[in-house]
Amino acid sequence: REIGSIVRSLGCFPTEAELHELLAKVEEEEPTGYVHLEKFLPVMTKVLLDRSYRPIPEDVLLHAFEALDANKCGYISKEDLVKYLTEE
């Protein structure tokens, strides 16, 4: 269930279809909902070395931060960032 979060935390941003393809490579023959590290590591290592997924474009990230900047002051406070990352 958390494979998307794990992959994205490693700096890769696959589409949902690409994520399903990746999951098919690392899942057991009978899907259990779990991915074994022994299967995940070689596949993810290849993904990282090949730079298989493009990073999120800068303008998309900027737009996301602008959406969080309620006061339109050009920045968000550390406290707000912590709140958004942990609560929202």
Which ranges constitute the DSSP H helices of 1-88? Answer: 3-9, 16-26, 37-50, 58-68, 78-87
Phi, psi of 36 (to 5 degrees): -85, 140
Per-residue pLDDT tens digits for 32-84: 778 888 888 999 899 888 888 877 888 888 888 888 888 889 888 899 889 88
Three-class secondary structure of residue 27 per DSSP: coil
**Are 4 and 30 within one domain?**
yes
**Are 14 and 40 within one domain?**
yes
pLDDT given for residue 60 in this prediction:
85
Q: Which domain holds residue 11?
A: 1-50
**Are 60 and 44 within one domain?**
no
**Are 43 and 63 within one domain?**
no
**Are 64 and 80 within one domain?**
yes
Query: How far from the centroid of its chain's Cα atoms is residue 11's Cα?
Result: 6
Angstrom distance (rounded) from CA 29 to CA 73: 52
**Are 4 and 46 within one domain?**
yes
pLDDT given for residue 88 in this prediction:
64
**Are 46 and 65 within one domain?**
no
**Are 64 and 45 within one domain?**
no
**Are 44 and 3 within one domain?**
yes
Average pLDDT over residues 4-15: 86
Average pLDDT over residues 22-29: 82
CB 65 within 8 A of CB 27: no
